[in-house]
Amino acid sequence: MPKAKSIPETVRRRAVAAVAAAWESGCPVAGWRPADQAAIADVCLRRYGSLGRRRVGASDRAGQVRDLARGLVEASGQDRGLVGPLIRDYEWLAERVLSAITDQAPEAEPAAAPDPGT
């Protein structure tokens, strides 16, 4: 199996910063510890690097967000079927990290930050 491409450190830093900013915005799945935030960013970076293997197109932004969110749920150890409304928080977080990875603004800003009580 070929070795994965190296992620530029600037991209990784942007991804970690996006996770930290999501936590500060009230995203309950972003993690409060810097080590957890870095791990979440790394999950997204790995998933982003392998989107093609899961047949998610480069122009399918919504599919990319769903795929990264799915990876975050799997990495959290939660059962995808039992995540319930938190999937919106995972998707919101995935959109922020994807935007940081691709150095683009998020597709659509939510009306408000995720409700920390969900």
Alpha carbon distance 19, 36 (integer Å)? 9
Q: Which two three-digit tokens encode residue 68?
A: 């990264």
Say if CB 97 and CB 18 are below 8 A apart.
yes
- pTM (2 d.p.): 0.83
Report yes or no: 15 and 69 within 8 Å, Cβ to Cβ: no
pLDDT in tens, 57-85: 999 999 999 999 999 999 998 877 788 89
Do the Cβ atoms of 28 and 114 come closer than 8 Å? yes
Give the per-residue pLDDT at 79. Answer: 79
